[in-house]
């Protein structure tokens, strides 16, 4: 077994090459991210729908129990509070913030995250070509894209280089990951789109632009998986679903129980108003889905590809409401994202013990 070494993301040293993936809505907020960073990994705060934080305490206006409009859905005040609380846990160790490119108000939310004290900005679900400009007044902040192909990395590096920046790291996400996917539905199970296949060409592309670390994500569960993906050239790994199985994870107990109760065949692909397929546990929402032409109202105006509820009516659910409901522990109406290995979760452990297990391969 190899010795697992820390990585440098620009100026930021991450003692252990274990990154906790950003998980919205409310799965990776202060408690989870703070504890991962405290224990030597990199914790990632999700900036998605922070309006839901602490029973919508920071939301100025709500309708039907939902944050009203983009301003309240991505509550600046709540994001500040999340960072403040995470800092109380991890001190000045690096903390990342995950902001999907497909959200409305992307630029404003990036700025909020910078002002709230993020050390690293991570963006997927689109090509964040404008990140160098948005972060130009924060020279210590590193910017990290999530990609699923060498082509996407090439486009980003080319554009960022023209602005005088290189990525602090790149996250390579394969189709076993939880949540929104970077590949189309018919590509998700094709061998050429699996993490093991996309990683080597992305590494080759990375070599053309610098030596920033490669972080592999999607379906990584245990030390054996870490060894295998590092053999293919990854410098670090990002885990999402396994961190849901921790006491510190901000998800509701209902969310954790959904994963504990799931079987392999329960983890399915579902269409999403974001425009990418998503991977989730087949709970009541998915079992009863049908396109809905009039009933779904857009309250939170969360993502631009949905076009104020058009996408929601097409797929049969609103992404903000459904992920919000999962966070609130509403089993019937919630959407419970999970990686393909979510059914392997058998117990809830502490973040420290999970990181120790991954580092030492001892339980
Ligand atoms: C519940 C859940 C929510 C997620 N939300 C986001 C998100 O908001 N932004 C993002 O970039 N990735 C998101 N992801 C992906 C994770 O950050 C991570 O990269 C991925 O889950 C890794 O695969 P694994 O779950 O098999 O470990 C989410 C994953 C899960 C399970």
pLDDT tens-digit series, residues 146-203: 999 999 999 999 999 999 999 999 999 999 999 999 888 989 999 999 999 999 999 9
pLDDT at 145 over 90: yes
Q: Is residue 194 part of a domain?
A: yes
Per residue in 207-235, pLDDT (tens digit) is 999 999 999 999 999 999 999 999 999 99
As a whole number of angstroms, the distance between CA 147 and CA 56 comes to 32
Question: Ligand 1 site: residues with CB under 6 angstroms?
Answer: 21-24, 27, 46, 48, 98, 100, 124, 146, 173, 176-179, 217-220, 238-242, 337-339, 341
Nearest to 326 by CA among 116, 219, 178, 146: 178
Distance 314 CA to ligand 1 centre (A): 23
Residues 71 and 116 in one domain: yes
What pLDDT shows up at residue 182? 86
Per residue in 76-90, pLDDT (tens digit) is 999 999 999 999 999
Residues 178 and 78 in one domain: yes
pLDDT at 1 over 90: no
Residues 300-304 have a mean pLDDT of 96
What pLDDT shows up at residue 206? 98
What pLDDT shows up at residue 112? 98
Largest CA distance in the chain: 57
Q: Phi then psi for 98, rounded to 5 degrees?
A: -100, 125
Q: Is residue 337 part of a domain?
A: no
Residues 256-269 have a mean pLDDT of 98
As a whole number of angstroms, the distance between CA 305 and CA 222 comes to 35
For the chain, where are the E strands, in sequence order? Answer: 7-9, 12-14, 18-20, 43-46, 62-63, 66-67, 95-98, 120-123, 142-147, 170-173, 179-180, 214-217, 236-239, 267-270, 278-281
259-to-78, 95, 117, 245 alpha-carbon distances in Å: 27, 26, 32, 8
**Cα 270 → chain centroid:** 17
Residues 271 and 206 in one domain: no
Grade residue 141 by pLDDT with cuts at 50, 70 and 90: very high
Residues 296 and 355 in one domain: no
pLDDT at 291 over 80: no
Residues 272 and 303 in one domain: yes
Ligand 1, residue 217: give the atom nearest the CA: 22
Ligand 1, residue 218: give the atom nearest the CA: 23
**Residue 117 neighbours by CB distance under 10 Å:** 16
Residues 223 and 240 in one domain: yes
* Percent of the chain surpassing pLDDT 90: 94
Ligand 1, residue 177: give the atom nearest the CA: 23
Mean pLDDT, rounded, of the chain: 96
Residues 139 and 284 in one domain: no
- The residue to mutate among 339, 345, 354, having the most atoms of ligand 1 within 8 angstroms of its beta carbon, is 339
pLDDT at 334 over 80: yes
Q: Whose CA is nearest to atom 17 of ligand 1?
A: 21
Q: Is residue 333 part of a domain?
A: no
Q: Which residue has the higher pLDDT, 76 or 2?
A: 76
Task: Tell me the residue range of the domain where 311 lies.
Answer: 259-327
Residues 119-148 have a mean pLDDT of 96
What pLDDT shows up at residue 357? 97
Residues 63 and 203 in one domain: yes
Q: Whose CA is nearest to atom 5 of ligand 1?
A: 23
Distance 306 CA to ligand 1 centre (A): 20
What pLDDT shows up at residue 362? 77
- The residue to mutate among 19, 20, 21, having the most atoms of ligand 1 within 8 angstroms of its beta carbon, is 21
* CB distance 35 to 248 below 8 Å: yes
Give the pairing type, strands 179-180 and 278-281.
antiparallel
Distance 294 CA to ligand 1 centre (A): 30
What pLDDT shows up at residue 266? 98
Q: Is residue 163 part of a domain?
A: yes
């Amino acid at each position: 077994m190899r010795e697992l070494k820390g990585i440098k993301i620009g100026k930021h040293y991450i003692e252990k090459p274990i990154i906790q993936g950003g998980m919205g809505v409310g799965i990776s907020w202060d408690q989870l991210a703070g504890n991962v960073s405290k224990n030597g990994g990199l914790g990632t705060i999700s900036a998605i729908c922070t309006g839901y934080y602490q029973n919508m305490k920071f939301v100025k206006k709500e309708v039907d129990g939902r944050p009203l409009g983009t301003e309240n859905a991505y509550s600046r005040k709540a994001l500040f509070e999340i960072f403040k609380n995470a800092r109380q846990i991890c001190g000045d160790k690096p903390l990342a913030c995950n902001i999907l490119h497909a959200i409305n108000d992307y630029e404003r939310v990036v700025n909020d995250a910078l002002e709230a004290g993020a050390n690293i900005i991570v963006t997927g679900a689109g090509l964040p070509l404008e990140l160098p400009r948005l972060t130009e007044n924060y020279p210590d902040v590193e910017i990290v894209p999530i990609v699923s192909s060498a082509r996407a990395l090439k486009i980003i590096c080319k554009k960022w280089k023209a602005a005088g920046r290189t990525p602090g790291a790149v996250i390579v996400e394969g189709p076993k990951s939880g949540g929104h996917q970077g590949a189309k539905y018919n590509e998700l199970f094709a061998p050429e789109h699996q993490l093991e296949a996309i990683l080597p060409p992305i590494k080759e592309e990375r070599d053309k632009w610098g030596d920033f670390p490669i972080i592999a994500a999607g379906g990584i569960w245990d030390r054996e998986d870490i060894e295998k993906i590092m053999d293919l050239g990854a410098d670090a790994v990002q885990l999402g679903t396994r961190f849901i199985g921790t006491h510190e994870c901000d998800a509701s107990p209902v969310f954790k129980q959904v994963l504990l109760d799931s079987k392999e065949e329960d983890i399915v692909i579902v269409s999403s108003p974001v425009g990418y397929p998503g991977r989730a546990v087949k709970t009541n929402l998915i079992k009863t889905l049908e396109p809905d032409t009039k009933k779904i109202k857009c309250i939170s105006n969360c993502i631009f590809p949905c076009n104020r509820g058009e996408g929601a009516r097409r797929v049969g659910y609103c992404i903000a409401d459904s992920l919000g409901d999962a966070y609130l522990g509403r089993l019937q109406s919630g959407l419970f994202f999970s990686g393909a290995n979510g059914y392997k979760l058998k117990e809830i452990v502490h973040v420290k013990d999970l990181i120790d297990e991954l580092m030492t391969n001892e339980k």
